[in-house]
Copies of this chain bind each other. A is one copy, B any other.
Amino acid sequence: MRLAELARQSGVPRSTIKFYIREGMLPAGEPRARNQATYGPAHLERLALIRALREVAGLRLEVVARVTAQLDRGFDGDPIGEALLAIHAPATSERAKGDAAELEKLRAEVYELMRGLPWTTGDERHFFAEEIAGTLLQVRQYLYPDYPVAALLPLARVAWLLSEVEFEHAPGGPRVPLRARRDDLAEPTRRAILGSVLFERIFAALHRAANSMRSIRISEELPVPPADAPAKEPR
């Protein structure tokens, strides 16, 4: 199909498609002549991914570009896991918050702690350590000057538990297919990434609700049920 057709089918304006191509997040069409190119279903899928990441997940274009770059690169391991990691690389302009040396020290500590967890792999590209260290630095600046890195451990346990819950309770079993063929990857990747972001948002809402309720319960001296209390049946 050609550009106009791609625009029609995807619902994305011609000019926006060209913009995405310019930005490198959508591959250019297969050139037929100096000013003629054809696009395939892969372009449609990529467009759907970009739009979903932008509009549904609210990711910035910079992050979307990183994810698609990861998808377009060759893979050694699991492309979906890699793409999920790519979402994580910190935005370029977020550096230089406070002391760079302090940040690096903290990052190393966080990294060490993460490696001690039973579930991390030996992966070197642990962007999250950088993000966590950055946020931790802010925690120390704004809240608790001596907040220890080790205090992350219980949070990490809960995070792994949450991941287990999400994977097990996903309809139709685990979201992520085992060793799919390269060309079957676009759709599962879209679903995995979107699922990750959407459920993160839902969980964040639940989490803030829980914090609010806990705060209100404490302040109003209502009972504060323990975490293992059974849920009442709704209605």
Interface on A for B, CB 8 Å cutoff?
52, 56, 77-78, 80-82, 84-85, 87-88, 112-121, 123, 126, 128, 131-132, 135-136, 138-139, 142-144, 146-147, 150-167, 169-172, 174, 176, 178-179, 191-192, 194-196, 198-222, 224-227, 229-235
Contact = CB atoms under 8 A, between A and B. Distances in A.
A204 to B, nearest CB: 6
Contact of A158 (B113, B152, B203): B203
Number of copies of chain A assembled together: 2
A114 to B, nearest CB: 7
A191 B140 CA distance: 12
Given A87-B208, A215-B81, A220-B78, A158 B165 contact: yes
Contact residues of A: prevailing secondary structure: helix
A155 B195 CA distance: 14
Nearest to A190: B142
Contact of A159 (B56, B150, B206, B226): B206
A115 B200 contact: no
Contact of A162 (B112, B194, B207): B207
Contact of A208 (B84, B156, B217, B230): B84
A179 B226 CA distance: 22
- Return the 5 tightest CB-CB contacts between A and B, nearest first: A116-B234, A78-B219, A159-B206, A81-B216, A163-B210
